Structure 1
Amino acid sequence: MAEIPMVFILAGLAAYTVLAGADFGAGLWTLFAGRGEAGHSAIRHHARHAMGPVWEANHVWLIFVLVVCWTAYPVAFGSITSTLAVPLFVAAVGIILRGFAYALRGQIEGAVGERAIEYLFAVSSMLTPFALGTVAGGIASGRVPVGNAAGDLVTSWLNPTSILIGGLAVAAGGYLAAVYLAADARRVGSWALERDFRTRALVAGCCAGAFALAGLIVVRFDAPSLFAGLTSGGGNVMVAISGAAGVATLMLVWRERFGLARASAALAVAAIVAGWALAQSPLLLPGLTVEQAAAGRSTLLAVIVAVAGGAIVLLPSLVLLFRLFLRGMLDHGAAADVGVPSPPALPHKTRRRLLEGFAAAMLVIGGGLAVLADPGLVLGLGVVCLLACAVATFALVAVESDSET
């Protein structure tokens, strides 16, 4: 029974990572809107509009994780929140400032005020996932001992593993958001926005993959026990699934299959959470297993019953919300390109650059996994990445041949 609330926590954490991660990523693209075919104003508007109906609902999962954790595992919760008080405070401030900026966006007059609000919204959208990522890194690297503020208040979250995971959280959010926003652009019929976010999804996916590979290298030296868990057993399987889903997402985005890409992108990110849990199991904190950290049987039973009862109300409501959102029934004034029957092909230079970037990313990821990983699924994933690099290289040659004919 002690493990059941932990399953709830991991499910909520995966949901928050995927849904709120995409939400934060949309804020990132308001800062790095660039010009694109649709123009930076249209890109920013699309990012804000797409997240409007669901951005507050995503924080339900964070509240759920916190409540279940402090009720079912009070000793671990106290140890985590006291040692990692600084990044948790930064994340809370980021969430508040982000909501403040989003609410005031349409109320501020003047270019200077609007620009300041835009920057505040974008910076808080990056600061919050980074801070939460450093929290995960501190726990995963074993820098949170049992006890009230027993760990170092600075190095517990400012360390190589935490910084890498924080960066990965930001990159993964941008990756998820770009995939989802490309799909939303197709739904509203804006082909220019679809192409802009398709390009961003491919670039962000390669960046997230690079962060993940760098994370494995850093973890190998900074947190050897975590690396051992990620490269063996269930952790190894989840790493392989995440990598395969990430590669599949890039291919689906390249082929403009955004519906399937949404699912595979979510799987790639959720598998990271599952891999972390399996790599660290059965420990919750150094010297403290999940069984030892659990509250009494009556408390655990109450948590299980409460979650089951709440799910009966909450899950159908969230499903209805997202169904309405994905069907466009909550759209009001969405910009669409009227009279455009089909999206034109990508320019030759754009196709070439995307193929070059993808081939380079697959070469780096595949080579790194082939060198660092022990024989097993991760090594197999490295081989798959190298094969993907070869396929992209042949495609690049084909693109060059087509341009010459």
Structure 2
Amino acid sequence: MMADVIAWLLVIVIAAYACAGGTDYGAGFWDLTAGGAERGKRPRWLIDHAMAPVWEVNNVWLIFVLIIMWTGFPVMFQAVFEALWLPLALAAVGQVLRGAGFALRKPTRRIAQRRVYGAVFAISSLLTPFFLGSVLGGVASGRVAVGTEASADAWANPTSLMAGLLAVAATAFLGAVFLCSDARRFGADDLVGYFRLRAWTAFAALVVLALVALPVTRDDARYVWDGLTSGLGLLMALLAGVCGLAAVLLLARRMYGWSRCSAVATVALAVLAWGFAQRPYLLPTTLTVSEAAGAAHSLRWLGIVTLIAVVLVGPALVLVYRLDTMGRLEPLTDTDTSAAGLPGDDQ
């Protein structure tokens, strides 16, 4: 019973990271596609101001994922990291470079250096969700089992490719929806329509990729396909589609706060659909939840510690997100940080 609870907790935390971290990855995607220095100046200005107050907070969910995996399901943790160490390493490198690029771009005055840091930030924001999605695809396809050796087939297969592309499209959709609301909050009325059009485009791409993924999943990940086309897995998938359409319609009606909620629900329900489709396996079709579970006392302590973390950290996270959406958190300006000009600035 405790193993099942921890397993569902893992799925919920993955959904939280996909939604919270996905908004930032999506912002990085639009940073990459914003255009040249002049054309992309306004969108990148908004992205910097929208992400700065809370972007590091979103990585808390990734830490939760790792802790729950290696404490609650050490056998699964070992199998996944042995078979998929390369895409996981690439995703981790992307995380580091992404954070460094974002942190260093803003205080830098030299245009050439800003371009370099901006490119590092934007490209890493594209690669990291792709590789994380490919890992989930490798697991869902049944190519990862206890004792599986690392190989390209484990993560460079049709299901992994589609999962990676879906992850990129989903984060682009989330990012654009959130940036519509942020544009209005920062008084950048010219950018509201700019990002609303991109949210519609990203949703269209998400739908096309989902349709392409259907036959791929049927042929390459049969167990998950059966779970997605029946029972609660099908229900979650249908609800995800309904919430996605609702987000698009709410954007058309300029109801940006509610569109955020619908977009988040779309991604969260899609992750839950995957969780229901895969049960009772953590590694289809070779390792069940009960087989992968750690020692009973470890699971009990993990449950206790998680409950304490939810009680102590949960309200703080809710407060931070609430203050950010209300516009109460503003990033420091160059004046605040006493950034000084250097010889060769603006060159």
Global fold match (TM > 0.5): yes
User: 1:249 deviation in Å?
Assistant: 1.0
Given candidates 226, 251, 254, the residue that maps to 1:253 is 251
Aligned partner of 2:145 in structure 1 is 145
- CA distance, structure 2, for counterparts of residue 326 and residue 276 of structure 1: 29
User: 1:29 deviation in Å?
Assistant: 0.8
Unaligned runs of 5+ in 2: 334-347
Aligned partner of 1:326 in structure 2 is 325
Q: Is the contact between residue 71 and residue 302 of structure 2 (CA under 8 Å) also seen in structure 1? A: yes
- CA distance, structure 2, for counterparts of residue 39 and residue 310 of structure 1: 44
- CA distance, structure 1, for counterparts of residue 149 and residue 244 of structure 2: 35
Q: Is the contact between residue 26 and residue 48 of structure 1 (CA under 8 Å) also seen in structure 2? A: no
Q: Is the contact between residue 202 and residue 254 of structure 1 (CA under 8 Å) also seen in structure 2? A: no
- CA distance, structure 1, for counterparts of residue 30 and residue 49 of structure 2: 12
User: 1:134 deviation in Å?
Assistant: 0.4
Give matches, 1:3-402, under 5 Å.
3-34=4-35, 39-147=39-147, 150-285=148-283, 286-331=285-330
Aligned partner of 2:337 in structure 1 is none
- CA distance, structure 1, for counterparts of residue 215 and residue 53 of structure 2: 39
- CA distance, structure 2, for counterparts of residue 250 and residue 303 of structure 1: 39
Q: Is the contact between residue 19 and residue 267 of structure 2 (CA under 8 Å) also seen in structure 1? A: yes
Please state whether the residue corresponding to 1:295 is helix, strand or coil. coil
Assess, with a 3 A threshold, how the Cα gap between structure 1 residues 332 and 273 changes in structure 2: closer, same or farther: closer
Structure 1 ranges of 4+ moved more than 3 A: none
Please state whether the residue corresponding to 1:284 is helix, strand or coil. strand
Tell me how large the CA RMSD over aligned residues is.
1.5
Q: What amino acid is the match of 1:95?
A: Q
Encode CA deviations 1:11-68: one digit per residue, 9 max, x unaligned. 1100100010111110111111148xx9520101101210111111111101101101
- CA distance, structure 2, for counterparts of residue 287 and residue 85 of structure 1: 19
- CA distance, structure 1, for counterparts of residue 10 and residue 331 of structure 2: 35
Q: What amino acid is the match of 2:87?
A: P
Q: Is the contact between residue 76 and residue 293 of structure 1 (CA under 8 Å) also seen in structure 2? A: yes
- CA distance, structure 2, for counterparts of residue 71 and residue 65 of structure 1: 10
Q: What amino acid is the match of 2:172?
A: G
- CA distance, structure 2, for counterparts of residue 332 and residue 315 of structure 1: 23
Q: Is the contact between residue 85 and residue 150 of structure 2 (CA under 8 Å) also seen in structure 1? A: no
- CA distance, structure 1, for counterparts of residue 299 and residue 185 of structure 2: 44
- CA distance, structure 2, for counterparts of residue 67 and residue 98 of structure 1: 22
User: 1:103 deviation in Å?
Assistant: 1.4
- CA distance, structure 2, for counterparts of residue 224 and residue 317 of structure 1: 41
Encode CA deviations 1:253-303: one digit per residue, 9 max, x unaligned. 111111111111111111111111111110111321101111121111100
- CA distance, structure 1, for counterparts of residue 214 and residue 269 of structure 2: 15
Encode CA deviations 1:319-359: one digit per residue, 9 max, x unaligned. 1111110110112589xxxxxxxxxxxxxxxxxxxxxxxxx
Encode CA deviations 1:355-383: one digit per residue, 9 max, x unaligned. xxxxxxxxxxxxxxxxxxxxxxxxxxxxx
User: 1:106 deviation in Å?
Assistant: 2.6
- CA distance, structure 1, for counterparts of residue 224 and residue 299 of structure 2: 28
- CA distance, structure 2, for counterparts of residue 317 and residue 26 of structure 1: 24
- CA distance, structure 2, for counterparts of residue 106 and residue 313 of structure 1: 32
Q: Is the contact between residue 82 and residue 150 of structure 2 (CA under 8 Å) also seen in structure 1? A: no
Give TM-score scaled by structure 2 length. 0.92
Q: Is the contact between residue 230 and residue 239 of structure 1 (CA under 8 Å) also seen in structure 2? A: yes
Encode CA deviations 1:178-212: one digit per residue, 9 max, x unaligned. 00000111122221011111111111111111112
Give TM-score scaled by structure 1 length. 0.79
- CA distance, structure 1, for counterparts of residue 106 and residue 20 of structure 2: 24
Aligned partner of 2:343 in structure 1 is none
Q: What amino acid is the match of 1:185?
A: A
Q: What amino acid is the match of 1:316?
A: P
User: 1:153 deviation in Å?
Assistant: 2.0
- CA distance, structure 1, for counterparts of residue 161 and residue 298 of structure 2: 35
User: 1:108 deviation in Å?
Assistant: 3.2
Aligned partner of 1:403 in structure 2 is none
For the pair shown, the structure with the greater C-alpha radius of gyration is: 1
- Name the structure, 1 or 2, with higher relative contact order (CA <8 Å, separation 6+): 2
Q: What amino acid is the match of 1:324?
A: L
Assess, with a 3 A threshold, how the Cα gap between structure 1 residues 30 and 87 changes in structure 2: closer, same or farther: same
Unaligned runs of 5+ in 1: 335-405
Q: Is the contact between residue 104 and residue 117 of structure 1 (CA under 8 Å) also seen in structure 2? A: yes
